[in-house]
A and B are shown apart, each in its own frame.
Chain A
Amino acid sequence: MIEFADVHVRLGRRDVLRGITASLPERRVGVVGANGSGKSTLARLVNGLALPTSGSVTVLGMDTRRDGGRIRRGVGFLFTDPDAQIVMPTVAEDVAFSLRRKRLARAEVERRVGEVLARYGLADHADHPAHHLSGGQKQLLALCSIMVLEPDLLVMDEPTTLLDLRHSRQVAALLEEMPQQVLVVTHDLPLLAGFDRVLVLDEGRVVADGAPAEAVAHYRALMA
């Protein structure tokens, strides 16, 4: 459950978000909007990477301003550019890196890493250098590094922007299967088809909120 209560975000002289109020209990929530509409800032608010200038954001029952660290342990965040998220030289090491703070036994780390790599089709690449993967495989690796922590909630900021059609479809199929609540910021309108709710942002405000078909139609009209 994500709750925005009259959230304003001001960066320098610019009002990025202007009074967002929304309760989002749905399993699949999409956010669309033009470049600069504030949607990435909205995504960053959910795990406390950005904080509201006024108003509050409550995630998993905690306030992002007070409990940022605890919230980040429960919220996985997938960025647009996977290169910025890969920290270790090889695929398996990068996934294992996520588990370092948990201080698990080596065998348990290997078991969890092997399991998640197999689930996302990267088992054959476990010992490969991460920077040699294709863009799509890197995004899957970034996803593995998040999912190995079994987050309660997942936020994705334009996860398919840099992917080819095959990898975009793979991410869409994986989204379908995830049991967690997922909030996706995207320009990829077909990705939103099976979603429960879509918000349309324009100049920092929610201008449409509802089922994907109506919200996307509103967004298309806005962009015409």
Chain B
Amino acid sequence: MTGVHSLTGAYVPASSPLHRLPAGVKLAGLAAACSVLVLLRSPWALAGAAVVVAGLHALARVGVAAAWAQVRPVRWFAVVLFAMQFAFAGLDGAVTTTLRVVLAVALAGLVTLTTRVSDMMAALERCLSPVRFVGLDPLRLSLLLSLTVRSVPVVAELATRVREAQRARGVERSLRAFAVPLVVSSLRHADALGEALSARGLDD
């Protein structure tokens, strides 16, 4: 569930300067920092960037475990990337490319750890405000994105329930017996969610 958790429950409440920064500023900063990472060529420059990233994590006071949870999903990818780069581009190339990827993921994770999803959605809603001119509602678009994020743990939970029901009936490995009830229960959930959103006045 780490992947699911990192998507939905990663925000670490604190009152650090990074937490207080507006979500829009953090997203723009992330884009700028990733561009700088691409421009850095030497391993020493990237090592310096790593120190800065570690410093930002310390400033945000998010804790080592939470920071590691953000980077953990790419650990094997990083190992494979390092090996491939080492074989084709040598040690310098392997270090720079791998550090670039890991640091970009760590920075994105830091934004996630210090920003509430609702603040992210509000920032997005402001960015999307020009879509009004083509008849779209920015609130609905940002709602679509927050519902996508929210759907990840819901579908994961439905999948767990279906798998447990399968095991209880002694059906261990049948794709059809897994997929059909999962799709049906997901559609039922979508219906119920739509009705709940209407009931909360979101259809006006």
Chain B contacts for A87, CB-based, 8 A: 143, 146-147, 150, 193, 196-197, 200
Q: Are B117 and A72 in contact (CB under 8 A)?
A: no
Q: Is A100 an interface residue (CB 8 A)?
A: yes
Q: A89 at interface (Cβ–Cβ under 8 A)?
A: yes
- Encode contact with B along A59-98: 1 for CB under 8 Å, 0 otherwise: 0000000000100110011010101111111100100111
Q: Does chain A have a CB within 8 A of B72?
A: no
A72 touches B201 (CB 8 A): yes
Q: Are A86 and B150 touching (Cβ within 8 A)?
A: yes
A145 contacts B by Cβ under 8 Å: yes
Q: Check A131–B146 contact: CB distance below 8 A.
A: no
Q: What B residues does A84 contact at CB under 8 A?
A: 189, 192-193, 195-196
Closest to B189 in A: A84
Assuming A89-B149, A100-B139, is B204 touching A73 (CB within 8 A)?
yes
Partner of B11, one of A79, A83, A127: A127
A55 within 8 A of B: no
- Asked if A131 and B154 make an inter-chain contact with CB atoms under 8 angstroms apart, the answer reads yes
B13 within 8 A of A: yes
Q: For the complex, is B73 an interface residue (Cβ under 8 Å from A)?
A: no
Say yes or no: is A166 at the interface (Cβ < 8 Å to chain B). Answer: no
Nearest residue (CB) in A for B147 is: A87
| Nearest chain A residue, comparing its CB with the CB of B139 | A100
Does A129 make an interface contact (CB < 8 A)?
yes
Complex contacts, A97 vs chain B, CB 8 Å:
118, 200
B146 close to A79 (CB less than 8 A): no
Q: Is B154 in contact with A129, judged by CB distance below 8 angstroms?
A: no
Is the pair A90, B9 in contact by a Cβ cutoff of 8 Å?
Answer: yes
Give the residue of A69, A93, A98, A149 whose beta carbon is less than 8 angstroms from that of B204. A69
Q: Which residue of B lies closest to A96 (CB)?
A: B118
Shortest C-beta distance, A69 to chain B (Å), equals 4
Q: Check A49/B204 contact, CB under 8 A, given A86-B150, A88-B118, A97-B118.
A: no
**Cβ-closest chain B residue relative to A109:** B118
Q: Is the CB of A79 within 8 A of B5?
A: no
Q: How large is the interface on B (under 10, 10 to 19, 20 to 34, 35 or more residues)?
A: 20 to 34
A64, B9: Cα distance in complex, Å: 38
Contact of B199 among A72, A89, A96, A132 (CB under 8 A): A72
Please state if B9 and A132 are interface contacts (CB–CB under 8 Å). yes
Q: Report B19 CB to chain A, min CB distance, Å.
A: 11
Whether the Cβ atoms of B147 and A79 lie closer than 8 Å is no
- On whether the beta carbons of A90 and B192 are closer than 8 Å, the reply is no
Residues of B within 8 A of A111 (CB): none
Interface residues of B in 143-184 (CB under 8 A from A): 143, 146-147, 149-150, 153-154, 157
Asked if residues A49 and B154 are in contact (CB atoms below 8 Å), the reply is: no
Which of chain B's residues 15-32 have a Cβ closer than 8 Å to chain A? none
Does any Cβ of A come within 8 Å of B35's Cβ? no
Q: Does B42 contact A (CB under 8 A)?
A: no
The residue of chain B having its C-beta at the shortest distance from the C-beta of A50 within the complex is B195
Could you say which of B195, B196, B198 has the most chain A C-beta atoms within 10 Å of its C-beta?
A: B196
Contact with B along A178-213 (1 / 0, CB 8 A): 000000000000000000000000000000000000
What residues on A are CB-neighbors of B117 within 8 Å?
Answer: 88-90, 93
For the complex of A and B, list the 10 residue pairs with the smallest distance between their C-beta atoms, beginning with the closest. A129-B9, A84-B192, A77-B199, A93-B118, A85-B196, A69-B204, A127-B13, A89-B8, A131-B153, A89-B117
14 cross-chain CB contacts under 8 A: A49-B198, A49-B199, A69-B204, A72-B198, A72-B200, A72-B201, A79-B196, A85-B199, A87-B197, A88-B117, A89-B117, A89-B150, A90-B116, A131-B157
Q: Could you tell me which B residues sit within 8 Å of A by CB distance?
A: 5, 8-9, 11, 13, 116-118, 139, 143, 146-147, 149-150, 153-154, 157, 189, 192-193, 195-204
